[in-house]
Amino acid sequence: MTSEDILGADSAGGYTYEQYFSLVELGLLSEDDPVELLDGVIVAKSPSNPPHAEGVWRAQTALLREVGERAMVRVQSCLVASCRSVPEPDVAVVPWRRRGYADAHPTTALLLVEVADSSLQQDRLSKSRIYAGDAVPQYLIVNLRDDCVEVFADPDPTTRLYRTKRVARRGDRIDLDAFPGVSVAVDDLLPEPEDD
């Protein structure tokens, strides 16, 4: 693949994941650049403020505790969700592999979590469609604005939509669809409320 092939992204569909990763090899993007590939478009990621960082840590900690060694919990790492999407979900629970993912990024996940404040609309619209299209069984948005968790389940890859959506609030537990009998507390995902 030449640099002209990479830089001349298909006008109809944008960049493919191969072209996107080649931008790093050419030095046009760095592995540390805060971007991700969503439906063929290279999109800047919002900077992480303290509540977002806390939400990511809390989700990672809660899921590691509940899932144990049945799967791998990755934080802000690439997921090759389609030929034109390489999001970096805040937390991804992916199938267990003895050798891990040192040779290739995962292409599917058992559960994805986005912690949302300024990114809420993108997480609800673009990311939910990408994740449903990849048949991710369950997708959680830790909604920092409204102090709740939005639960998306039962994906339809053809329409790229989740058939089931609900809001879970403090005091609720969320059953993890990929792990029968396992649930996570909403209070373990949301940052501690400020004292009045």
How do the domains of the chain map onto residue ranges? 3-33, 50-189
Residue 3 has pLDDT above 60, yes or no: no
pLDDT at 12 over 90: no
Cα separation, 78 vs 75, in Å, equals 9
Q: Which residue has tokens 């899932």?
A: 67
Q: Supply the mean pLDDT for the chain.
A: 91
Class (C level, CATH) for 50-189: alpha beta
**Which two three-digit tokens encode residue 52?**
């977002």
Reduced to 3 states (helix: H, G, I; strand: E, B; else coil), residue 93 is strand
3-class DSSP state of 20: helix
**pTM exceeds 0.85:** yes
